[in-house]
Amino acid sequence: MTTSMIRGEAHAALITAPGSGQGKSMVTAALARLHRNAGRKVRVFKHGPDYLDPMVQEVASGQPVYQLHPWMTGEAECRWRLAEAAADADLILVEGSMGLFDGDPSSADLAILAGLPALPVIDAWGMAQTFGAVAQGLANYHPGLAIHEVIANRVGSPGHGRLLAESMPEGLALLGAIPRHEAMAIPDRHLGLVQATELAGLDRQLDSAAEVLKEAGLDRLPARVMLEAEAPTPPPCLLDGVRIGVARDDAFAFLYRANLDLLEAMGARLNFFSALADATLPACDALWLPGGYPELHAGRLTANVSMLAKIRAHREAGKPVLAECGGLMACMESLVDGEGREHGMLGLLPGTARMAGKLTALGLQSLSTQAGELRGHTYHHSLLETPLIPAAHARRLAGSPAEPVYVDGALVASYFHGYFPSAPALTAAIFRGQSLRFIQD
């Protein structure tokens, strides 16, 4: 069999930070918009399992955003997506997760794997010469990682910026000092950034943020990188002709583009609908209720009695349903929101989903069956109260205890979020309503 190779060369960098909360998401978005406005084609990727940052990055770049994670998506897919982008784009930006060396695999591991230089964003608030020490520590921590420049964020004045530049050790340079500016702030909530669709004036803000970066000298392109990889084998047509109804609105929006792409590549036809605004389901053989924020829209969801009845009828007809995280919460008899108000839900499963007011689960996990190992993660701020006995538990790679998986006929529900390309045959089995043979430790 002849292997097809993809090669490309583009300016590229991993935008990272010493830790969360340094401003790397908005800096990445502003950089993408800055170069897009200059007439360049910009592709942005996100390290690790994240739904919210990519929404903003897609608006900033005007291009689709995919996740890259050596464990969840696989090393080969990381290389392929980057090489494919480099063959077409002028600039590639990969937004890291957490701190540069946090997690296993970390953002640094991805940069080393792909051969990308790292460009740390360091919050300079309350720092002067110590800024150079932080930069030097990041640059020297791993000999296989290339760091030549850093970005100072939330700088107080031009004089502050000069102090930071003078603090840089030999071999490192300050690419730019970003001043504190309202255009560089973006609101967040308990699961991360507010969804891009809920941010009024986001385009204008991104244009303003791009100008802030331009004035700070950040309009210079990073180094060019040659990227190559083997093209993947197309997946088998395991869902040929299957119509899948996919909930997509402010309550259910946590959808990886790669998941949607895989379903279509396997022959499925995706019909999107709003569980909040539509009165009826589209024509569908299977239903997908993804994660999101049902707790913020529980009143509207409860009030849409027509839609709830249609989903119940779909379930009563024995048709497949996949419910992930927020979708699982909607399947319960009731949901108690963050204000303590109880809302009636679909009642497809017995029990209550209750907001806990704090993070209750976080980590990488996988679900193993005879049809393959589905990799993904868990991240939620609610707890489930149910008499149901799980059909299986996901395997914990890192973080929280393994999530239970509930199966009732053709309904599969869990807090676990799956990355479908990691297990195409298992994904197809779920949407075809086939029996699952779980493999447990």
Find, among 179, 172, 18, the residue nearest to 99 by Cα.
Answer: 18
* Per-residue pLDDT reduced to its tens digit, 66-112: 999 999 999 999 999 999 999 999 999 999 999 999 999 999 999 99
Locate tokens 């393959």: which residue? 372
- Share of residues in the chain with pLDDT > 90 (%): 93
CA distance 62 to 65: 9
Same domain, 223 and 283: no
357, 338 Cβ separation under 8 angstroms: yes
3-state DSSP call for residue 205? Answer: helix
State the average pLDDT for the chain. Answer: 95
pLDDT of residue 60: 97
- Whether 192 and 314 share a structural domain: no
From 230, 259, 282, give the residue that closes a domain.
230
**Is residue 241 pLDDT above 80, yes or no?**
yes
pLDDT of 196? 60
pLDDT exceeds 80 at position 319: yes
Domain boundary among 208, 230, 252: 230
Q: Flag whether pLDDT at 191 surpasses 80.
A: no
Domain count for the chain = 2
User: CA-to-CA distance for 421 and 428, rounded, in angstroms?
Assistant: 11
Q: What is the dihedral of CA 150, 154, 158, 161, to 10 degrees?
A: -30
Q: Out of 175, 195, 230, pick the residue that ends a domain.
A: 230
Three-state SS sequence of 379-438: EECEEEECCCCCCEECEECCCCCCCEEEEECCEEEECCEEEHHHCHHHHHHHHCCCCCCE
How would residue 1 be classed by pLDDT, with cut points 50, 70 and 90? very low
CATH of the domain at 294: 3.40.50.880
Within 8 A by CB and 6+ apart from 291, the residues are 51, 252, 253, 254, 324, 325, 326, 327, 417
Q: Residue 275: pLDDT above 80?
A: yes
Q: Has residue 233 got a pLDDT over 80? A: yes
- 441 within domain boundaries: no
* DSSP bridge pairs for 411: 321, 408
Output 186 or 351, whichever has higher pLDDT. 351
Same structural domain, 218 and 263: no
Residues 6+ apart with CB under 8 A from 159: none
CB-based contact 4:106 (threshold 8 Å)? no
Structure tokens at 176: 């730019």
Per-residue pLDDT band for 294 (boundaries 50, 70, 90) equals very high
Q: Are residues 331 and 190 in the same domain?
A: no
- Strand runs labelled E in 265-381: 269-273, 286-289, 291-292, 321-324, 334-336, 342-344, 352-355, 361-369, 372-380
403 is a domain residue: yes
Q: Are residues 293 and 391 in the same domain?
A: yes
Q: In this predicted structure, what is the pLDDT of residue 399?
A: 87
> How far from the centroid of its chain's Cα atoms is residue 211's Cα?
27
Q: Whole-angstrom Cα distance, residue 403 to residue 395?
A: 8
Rounded-to-integer distance, Cα 133 and Cα 129, Å: 7
| 0.85 exceeded by pTM | yes
CA distance 197 to 272: 16
Full residue range of the structural domain in which residue 416 is found:
243-431
Quote the Cα angle for 208-212-215, to 5°.
Answer: 135
Is it the case that residue 194 has pLDDT exceeding 80?
no
337 lies in the same domain as 379: yes
Find the CATH number of the domain harbouring 203. 3.40.50.300
DSSP H helices, 190-235, are 202-215
Same domain, 217 and 328: no
Q: pLDDT by residue (tens digit) across 132-141?
A: 999 999 999 9
pLDDT confidence tier of residue 114, bands split at 50, 70 and 90: very high
- Active-site residues, by number, are 325
C-alpha 59 chain-centroid distance: 14
Cβ partners under 8 Å of residue 399, min gap 6: 361, 362, 363, 364, 365, 378
